[in-house]
Amino acid sequence: MLKNKNYFCLLTIALLMLGSIASAQIFTPLNEIISSPESFEGKFVTVKGNYYGWQKAPGYPPVTRSDWVLGSNDEKTIYCTGQLPQTFDPMSRNSIGKPITVLAQVRCKDKRPFLVVEEIKTINLQVEKMVSVAQIIFDPLAMRGRYVGLLGVLAKGYGVKGDRMYLLADPTGAIKLGRLPKLYPKGTILHLKGYIRIDKDGLPMLDEIEIIDARVD
């Protein structure tokens, strides 16, 4: 019993620390990179912006003809090379203007900056409601289809048929996770967003998962 209490106390402290880390996330303004490229050359930055495909191009593509454009809300634009959003089509109007974030290294060519993209994420503008695992487990049908946020510890378990699965555990319980966009070791503290679904065995699960933050102790 004492071990369980200690575990829950440590988990609560860890979750509070994770919340502080998440709130402190910093993005580099695009206009700062454009106005002072020499200060950022070679550095890795995280940038928020809108995807413009091949529109609003700031000159010619620096690396390949497939380089694409990232723009800010104040109409500043920069070329990106490397990874492209998987579901985006540079020729499609439905993709243009969609908000994304990129992790990239700043490079310069002919004194013009561009971004070599390492990681890219689309931004879901739908606001999630933070819930506990117990809220989902006690009323899965009412929660079904809702877009929610969860904070907990990654665990592994077994399904009804003995199949291995990932779980997210908080002090109120544990819930099955769908496919994770990135794998972490057991015990990682995760802040997740996703949709509540009912799996083939009739059990609630979190699906279409987006990892907001992760901490590996």
pLDDT > 50? residue 14:
no
Q: pLDDT tens digits for 102-131?
A: 999 999 999 999 999 998 887 766 667 899
Q: Assess contact for 77 and 56: CB atoms under 8 A.
A: yes
Which CATH number does the domain housing residue 172 bear?
2.40.50.140
Which CATH number does the domain housing residue 47 bear?
2.40.50.200
Instruction: Report how far residue 48's alpha carbon sits from residue 121's, in angstroms, rounded to the nearest whole number.
Output: 10
**Residue 13, pLDDT score:** 41
Query: Domain check: are 67 and 87 in the same one?
Result: yes
* pTM score, whole prediction: 0.50
> Closest Cα to residue 34, out of 84, 79, 68?
79
Q: Is residue 19 part of a domain?
A: no
* pLDDT mean over 154-160: 84
**Residue 24, pLDDT score:** 37
- Sign of the CA dihedral with 143 first, then 147, 151, and 154 last: positive
Q: Assess contact for 55 and 61: CB atoms under 8 A.
A: no
pLDDT > 90? residue 63:
yes
Query: Domain check: are 111 and 139 in the same one?
Result: no
Instruction: Report how far residue 181's alpha carbon sits from residue 11's, in angstroms, rounded to the nearest whole number.
Output: 23
pLDDT > 50? residue 21:
no
Query: Domain check: are 101 and 159 in the same one?
Result: no
Q: Is residue 23 part of a domain?
A: no
* Lowest mean per-residue pLDDT among 39-43, 63-67, 73-77: 73-77
Instruction: Report how far residue 104's alpha carbon sits from residue 75's, in angstroms, rounded to the nearest whole number.
Output: 20
Q: Which of 122, 143, 170 is the last residue of a domain?
A: 122
**Residue 43, pLDDT score:** 94
140 alpha-carbon distance from chain centroid: 25
Percent of the chain at pLDDT > 90 equals 48
Domain that holds residue 88: 30-122
Query: Domain check: are 76 and 35 in the same one?
Result: yes
Q: Is residue 40 part of a domain?
A: yes
Radius of gyration of the chain (CA): 21
pLDDT > 70? residue 3:
no
Number of folded domains in the chain?
A: 2
Q: pLDDT tens digits for 158-207?
A: 877 778 899 999 999 999 999 888 888 999 999 999 999 999 888 999 99
* Between 146 and 115, the higher pLDDT residue: 115
Query: Domain check: are 114 and 146 in the same one?
Result: no
* Mean of the per-residue pLDDT values of the chain: 83
Q: Both ends of the chain: CA-CA distance in Å? A: 24
Q: Which of 122, 139, 171 is the last residue of a domain?
A: 122
**Coil/strand/helix, residue 31:** helix
Query: Domain check: are 37 and 85 in the same one?
Result: yes
Q: Which of 90, 122, 154 is the last residue of a domain?
A: 122
Query: Domain check: are 100 and 175 in the same one?
Result: no
Q: Assess contact for 105 and 43: CB atoms under 8 A.
A: yes
pLDDT > 90? residue 33:
yes
Q: Assess contact for 102 and 80: CB atoms under 8 A.
A: yes
DSSP string of 102-164? EEEEEEEETTEEEEEEEEEEE---SPPEE--HHHHHHSHHHHTT-EEEEEEEEEEEE-TTS-E
Number of H helices, E strands in the chain: 5, 11
**Residue 96, pLDDT score:** 84
* Between 217 and 179, the higher pLDDT residue: 179
Q: Is residue 71 part of a domain?
A: yes
